[in-house]
Amino acid sequence: MDEKKIMISGGAGQIAYSLIPLICSGEVFGKNIKLNIKLYDILSMEDKLDGVKMEIDDSCYPLVNSVTTTVDGEVAFSDVDYVILLGGFPRKPGMLRSDLIEKNVKIFKTAGQLLEKFSPKHVKVLVVANPANTNAAICMKNAPRIPRTSFTCLMMLDHDRLRNALAEKLILHRDILKLSSNFTILNVKNVIIWGNHSQTMVPDISHVQIFIKNNWINLFDIKNINNILTDEWIDELTNFIRQRGKSVISKRQLSSAMSAAQSIAKHIRIWHNGTLDNEFVSMGICSDNEYNLPNDLIFSLPVEIKNGKIYTVKFHTVRNSFNLKIQTNFKKSLEELKNEYKISNSFS
């Protein structure tokens, strides 16, 4: 039976606590792959790491070969297939985004250096801690031995928030659109999140397909759709997606750990297994000059994944995507990301 070796930084945190059961139960890599788990955190969290390990042991996951807890970077980053970087300095009340960048530069510079020194070249890296795109770029910069294609940041949560919000809108107008009674979010695919994981991210539904009458069809080819998905509503949708994380925090008084864990699991699962035919997802990746993007940044793009390799989706026909508003917002997000990366370099 094949094995996978996964390291999770911030292993004693609340997102890890929701993520670990998904990985250990086989939801990510499948039921035929044995798992060796490493949980890594700062020294003050050592006892909590041990407590998490005790719970994993007591859960008797049949796929788990071993669980290692450590506060030692060399132990954590050595001999791993996937590195999931949850641990970072959290944004606190009154902090500017530049303050958050400054606090995280050292953390992710160190993570990159540990990857460079100890990790195998085939390792795949997912950065979750915010500002995720810039943290991933800092990490990548400090690990030049690792291929740039091996660095990603999490955009799947925003992607699925957009997908769900659109599905709910369509279901609300099921009768007008003549959708079947069993129409669900599973009948919606190919939403896009462009840009930075921030208030400038660009939700885009112009390439969406929905499954009706046993066929996948383009969303905007549906009769009456423009009466429902008006420009005003799409603007509201953009603001909704950008504010969703804050809305969860205002209700829970905690971050969205459960949905973040689900989206991390999905990101890794799709990276491992690939996307379905004619389907793409949003990932923060290092561009190979696609869409004229700099290749030192991590930018969210629509991607397809085949045999573990990530391919950017390039659109050859222009529908509503990259209309003037999306182009403008795309450029704003890119400029913000460039500025963040410039700020991060001033601190490194």
Task: Count the neighbouring beta carbons within 10 Å of the beta carbon of residue 172.
Answer: 11
pTM: 0.95
Distance, in Å, from the CA atom of 284 to the CA atom of 289, rounded to the nearest integer, reads 14
Same domain membership, residue 188 and residue 130? no
SS3 content of the chain, % helix, strand, coil (to 5): 45, 20, 30
Under DSSP, is residue 94 helix (H, G, I), strand (E, B) or coil? coil
Backbone angles phi, psi at 322, to 5 degrees: 60, 30
Nearest Cα neighbor of 170 from 122, 134, 210, 141 is 210
> What residues are paired with 85 via a beta bridge?
9, 127
Token digits for 23? 């990985």
What local confidence, expressed as pLDDT, does residue 318 receive?
45
The answer, yes or no, to whether residue 137 has pLDDT greater than 70, is: yes
Same domain membership, residue 166 and residue 144? no
CATH number of domain containing 186:
3.90.110.10
The answer, yes or no, to whether residue 320 has pLDDT greater than 70, is: no
The answer, yes or no, to whether residue 304 has pLDDT greater than 90, is: yes
Tell the burial category of 181 from Cβ atoms under 10 Å away from its Cβ (0-12, 13-18, 19+). Answer: exposed
Domain that holds residue 288: 156-347
Q: Hey, which residues are catalytic here?
A: 197
For 330-339, how does the pLDDT look when each residue is reduced to its tens digit (9 = 90+)?
999 999 999 9
Distance, in Å, from the CA atom of 193 to the CA atom of 241, rounded to the nearest integer, reads 10
Same domain membership, residue 204 and residue 145? no
- Domain edge (last residue) among 92, 122, 153: 153
Same domain membership, residue 210 and residue 146? no
CA angle 345, 283, 108 (to 5 degrees): 30
CATH number of domain containing 9:
3.40.50.720
pLDDT band at 299 (very low <50, low <70, confident <90, very high): very high
- Domain edge (last residue) among 106, 130, 153: 153
Distance, in Å, from the CA atom of 333 to the CA atom of 2, rounded to the nearest integer, reads 41
- Buried residues in 185-212 as b, exposed as e (16+ CB within 10 A): eebbbbbbbbbbbbebbbbbbbbbbbbb
Distance, in Å, from the CA atom of 254 to the CA atom of 245, rounded to the nearest integer, reads 10
Same domain membership, residue 185 and residue 113? no
Token digits for 190? 């190919």
Same domain membership, residue 170 and residue 309? yes
Spatial neighbors of 9 by CB under 8 A, at least 6 apart, are 40, 41, 76, 83, 84, 85, 86, 87, 111
160-173 mean pLDDT? 97
Same domain membership, residue 213 and residue 171? yes
Token digits for 187? 């009948």
Same domain membership, residue 12 and residue 126? yes
Same domain membership, residue 275 and residue 137? no
Same domain membership, residue 40 and residue 20? yes
- For the chain, give the mean pLDDT: 93
Same domain membership, residue 121 and residue 181? no
- Domain edge (last residue) among 153, 179, 195: 153
The answer, yes or no, to whether residue 279 has pLDDT greater than 70, is: yes
Q: Report the domain count for the chain.
A: 2
The answer, yes or no, to whether residue 280 has pLDDT greater than 50, is: yes
Q: How many CA atoms lie within 13 A of 169 on its CB side?
A: 21
The answer, yes or no, to whether residue 96 has pLDDT greater than 50, is: yes
What local confidence, expressed as pLDDT, does residue 182 receive?
92
Same domain membership, residue 166 and residue 68? no
Residue type, 1: M
Under DSSP, is residue 196 helix (H, G, I), strand (E, B) or coil? coil
CA angle 330, 336, 337 (to 5 degrees): 90
270-290 mean pLDDT? 94
Specify whether the CB–CB gap between 157 and 256 falls below 8 A.
yes
183-196 mean pLDDT? 96
